[in-house]
Structure 1
Amino acid sequence: MQILLVGAGLSGAVIARRLAEAGHDCHVIDQRDHIGGNCHTRRDGETGVMMHVYGPHIFHTDDQQVWDYVNRFAAFQPFRNRVKTTVGGKVYSLPINLLTINQFFGKAMRPDEAREFIDGLADHSITTPQSFEEQALRFVGADLYRAFFKGYTEKQWGCAPSELPAAILKRLPLRFDYDDNYFSHRFQGMPRDGYTPMIAAILDHPRITIDLSTPYSPDMAEQADHVFWSGPLDGYFDFQLGRLGYRTLDFERFTHDGDYQGCAVMNYGDREVPYTRITEHKHFSPWEQHERSVCYREYSRAAGPEDIPYYPIRLVREKALLQNYQRRAKATQGVTFVGRLGTYRYLDMDVTIREAMDTASLFESCLAKGDPMPAMLTPS
């Protein structure tokens, strides 16, 4: 069959590879001038540092098959994401762990003592947290909430934490040991040469053709037997029902002779600091040596029509609009919506790859049975 894949990021690449190996001809297009989507990496011309162009991407998963898959196309180096945060002129370790607790409160508690201490600070009157703020107050109490979550969250999301769902905070751990590894998955690492060469290797198949700097137009679908769309869900329908809300990022680049901050990611929790974090990219490749450093200050704001969408907002208005677009999508034949933008969800890379693998397998199964391929495979 002739398959059109709109978007040359992880979703499009993995689906294209699977279907090409099954004997289909896959045409991948992307409106940008590079492959890789927001995972795109490149060497900085001034410093030689490997840059995560659209912000840092750290690979972590418990999925053995996904880990084996990425290692088929790239050599991975061990990497642990050890985030720090500057609050009130002091540096602390994230996620909140025993060191953070002891340092913040000026104590030397053992794990059981710290657990009892934090439980005494938690607001037990909140039995079923509905908002980010309620979850944080129930989780760690007012002092830690104000120091580590409130200001950062207001900058990141552009609204009060009381307006955000509790689920945003539920995925962040609270540890009563000295483990400062941001993630807890079995497999964690970085592709030694960057994500773009890995995705190029996935797309390197004789049945896959790629056209970059190529926006989608509806007439392209007429030449294909099926379309996999990893662009914005609302964009497929030309925003006829309105635009789904996103946060976008602005990056302020600067260089430094030597080591600027001693870690890859430094958050800034104070509300009066306008940026959310500084990333120092040579620390994402600790197996390399660079005399100079390149850093980015990150500023979060509401995404406009011409901005790159990063984080789906998914508040009440967006959820209602999403349901309307999902109903329209499910009534559309010949196209399947995939990936972060196509399903309007925040997805880690391993989940994106797993869903792409499963989507390609389902497509083959539907073909074999003569069943139509669903347009939407994921819940809202």
Structure 2
Amino acid sequence: MVGAGLSGAVMARKLAEAGHLVTVCDERSHIAGNCYTERDADTGVMVHVYGPHIFHTDDEGVWDYVNRFANFLPFVNRVKTTSGGRVFLLPVNLHTINQFFNKTLRPDEAKEFITSIADQTIGEPKTFEDQALKFVGRDLYEAFFKGYTMKQWGVEPTQLPASILKRLPVRFNYDDNYFFHRFQGMPENGYTEMVEKILDHDNIELKLNTRYSRAESASYAHVFYSGPLDGYFDFELGRLGYRTLDFERFYYDGDYQGCAVMNYGDLDVPYTRITEHKHFSPWEKHEKSICYRESARSCEEGDIPYYPIRMADEKALLARYVERAGQEPGVTFVGRLGTYRYLDMDVTIREALDTADAYLNASANAQKLGAFFVSP
């Protein structure tokens, strides 16, 4: 297993329990990948070192799986946004609409009102901007979506596909739960402890601070690679495009913003959001606070890749790497980086479990697992 994040750990555990001897290596000095959490020595706050990770899923099997290794406590993500010097609730809901337009509309009245201000001249939306204008109109689009999107992706919304905003989160009730999923929560003692327990098996050997070379592939019955797909081939065809995140970490004596996540939609604010980490563990009480100002930019060599861009140029390059990967015997590319897809944690875990099952079935039938269990 190349990578000790969720993909590598979950597959390692599944195969180890089936009797395989598994080596897990990671070039970082810690496990859990970007889910890595650690408790700050000065404040006692559990910090999501690479930005907040909130667990939410409708997959009961995955929910049961993570609760095998951690005690998940209730956490509902209630996001706020600052726009034009005012604070609103996200996703856009009935409270947001009434507050923004200084109205007291009922649900049916709000639907009628939003329809009246939406751009009905747009047929099938082709761009992010088209999608937003068609469903919420220009005022809400510019207040809550345009500036944030430009900062997050570094391009005009007219250059982004409508698919990014296909499920426009607008609610005509007062529900401000950011997610729709049945199961939502946070591991009581952080994600690092959970991954540590997943990897705790006699058949698993862990090697940190270890960079993997594809020349080593022949030494193993099979390799599951969760690092960057282009990185496996030493970027021979070029680099796939990613957005990366910069975090400005600062301390505050007290409660800085009163919530876990505050977005900033205005373009004149350079960062996209501020996260206050003690609010991700509402069952704990801390006098002092740790916050991150979060900004997005293009990923360069040496940066941590977060969000695959997947625009036209990247998709063309991706197709070439997928073809190369198909010629690589005994290697399966998995996870967010290995398949160049944005994956939530629950989907990552489900795919890891299913990929491990597929390998066990293939091995039992003297067959080989291909380069991708889920095609990019």
Shorter-chain TM-score tier: over 0.9
| Structure 2 residue aligned with 1:245 | 241
Structure 1 residue 161, shift from structure 2 partner:
0.6
| Structure 1 residue aligned with 2:146 | 150
Structure 1 residue 222, shift from structure 2 partner:
2.2
| Structure 1 residue aligned with 2:261 | 265
- Paired AA for residue 269 in structure 2: V
Q: Distance in 2 between matches of 1:271 and 1:173?
A: 21
| Structure 2 residue aligned with 1:303 | 299
Q: Distance in 2 between matches of 1:37 and 1:167?
A: 28
Structure 1 residue 172, shift from structure 2 partner:
4.1
C-alpha distance after superposition, 1:130-175 (max 9, x if no partner): 1111111112111100000000000000000111111111244210
Structure 1 residue 376, shift from structure 2 partner:
1.1
| Structure 2 residue aligned with 1:376 | 372
C-alpha distance after superposition, 1:308-365 (max 9, x if no partner): 0000000010010011111111121100000000000000000000000000000011
| Structure 2 residue aligned with 1:282 | 278
Indicate whether 1:203 and 2:203 are aligned.
no
2:318 to 322, 329, 333: 322
Moved more, 7-16 or 321-330: 321-330
TM-score normalised to the size of structure 2? 0.99
Q: How does 1:16-35 map to 2 (within 5 A)?
A: 16-35=12-31
Gaps of 5+ in 1: none
1:178 to 170, 174, 180: 174
| Structure 2 residue aligned with 1:351 | 347
Q: Distance in 2 between matches of 1:245 and 1:99?
A: 37
Q: Distance in 1 between matches of 2:14 and 2:129?
A: 43
Q: How does 1:100-139 map to 2 (within 5 A)?
A: 100-139=96-135
Moved segments of 4+, more than 4 Å: none
Q: Distance in 1 between matches of 2:135 and 2:35?
A: 32
Q: Distance in 2 between matches of 1:158 and 1:27?
A: 39
| Structure 2 residue aligned with 1:334 | 330
TM-score normalised to the size of structure 1? 0.98
- Paired AA for residue 260 in structure 1: Y
RMSD: 0.8
C-alpha distance after superposition, 1:59-84 (max 9, x if no partner): 00000100000000000000000000
Indicate whether 1:361 and 2:363 are aligned.
no
How many equivalent residue pairs? Answer: 376
* Aligned-pair identity (%): 68
Tell me the secondary structure at the aligned position of residue 279 of structure 1: strand
C-alpha distance after superposition, 1:24-83 (max 9, x if no partner): 000000000000000000011221100000000000000010000000000000000000
C-alpha distance after superposition, 1:79-133 (max 9, x if no partner): 0000000000000000000000000000000000001111111112212111111
Tell me the secondary structure at the aligned position of residue 243 of structure 1: coil
- Paired AA for residue 182 in structure 2: R
Q: Distance in 1 between matches of 2:158 and 2:93?
A: 24
Structure 1 residue 234, shift from structure 2 partner:
0.3
Q: Distance in 2 between matches of 1:225 and 1:203?
A: 20
Gaps of 5+ in 2: none
Structure 1 residue 378, shift from structure 2 partner:
1.8
